[in-house]
A and B are shown apart, each in its own frame.
Chain A
Amino acid sequence: MATVFTTKGDLDESLLEKREGFIDNDHEYTTWVEYWHEGELVHRSAHVMLKKAAVWLNPEVAAIG
């Protein structure tokens, strides 16, 4: 059985209600997952995939290579 790290410690996934969702627009593709236990949110993770660059702020300070 898979376990999920939660605010109540590691809980068996079968004891939890799983909710999932996503955001898809020009800026990002985001997925999130929530686990609820007895009506309480005990775990929420999110994964954001950035789709495009934002403004440079201080390019002169960047020695990236």
Chain B
Amino acid sequence: MSEILTATHNFGTAPTRGTSAADTFKAALYLTSATVNAATTAYSATNEVSGTNYTAGGVTVTNATAPTPANSSPTAGVAYWTPSASITYTNVTLSSAFDAVLIYNSSQSNKAVSVHTFGSQTITAGTFTLTMPSNTTTTALLRLSTT
């Protein structure tokens, strides 16, 4: 199943790839007033946070570890992936409350991958860090399962 995460299989209309290199993923923060959810199809600057040292579009997600396949039985399995480093916004001031991060594919027209929410935060001349969960079958940030 990890081949699905690496775009080996195409079950529908998909982008034509000119390279086998991994795509670039980014992480953008959104205000509490934003609506980012399962219906979100792509990155948008609408209701994205803004402030000192924050660049619209967010930061690049470190992607040094390929997706991992794990079969728990002949008929059940899971493929999973987690960014290989924390997502960090350094020395920023984000005065308006935010509570969501959108991970999106900046190599593929900024199409959305996943949304993760957390308790409302503001940052003042400080650092906001999203620490990733352990990259395992049950805790990875992104998991694709047959069961």
Contacts and interface: CB of A to CB of B under 8 A. Distances in A.
Check if A and B associate.
yes
B56 to A, nearest CB: 20
Contact of A53 (B10, B25, B63, B141): B141
Provide the main secondary structure of the chain A interface: strand
A7 to B, nearest CB: 5
B52 to A, nearest CB: 9
Interface in B107-141: 107-108, 111-119, 121-133, 139-141
Contacts of B66: 64-65
Interface residues of A, number: 36
Given A60-B12, A62-B105, A48 B126 contact: no
Interface string B8-49: 001110110100001101000000000001101100000000
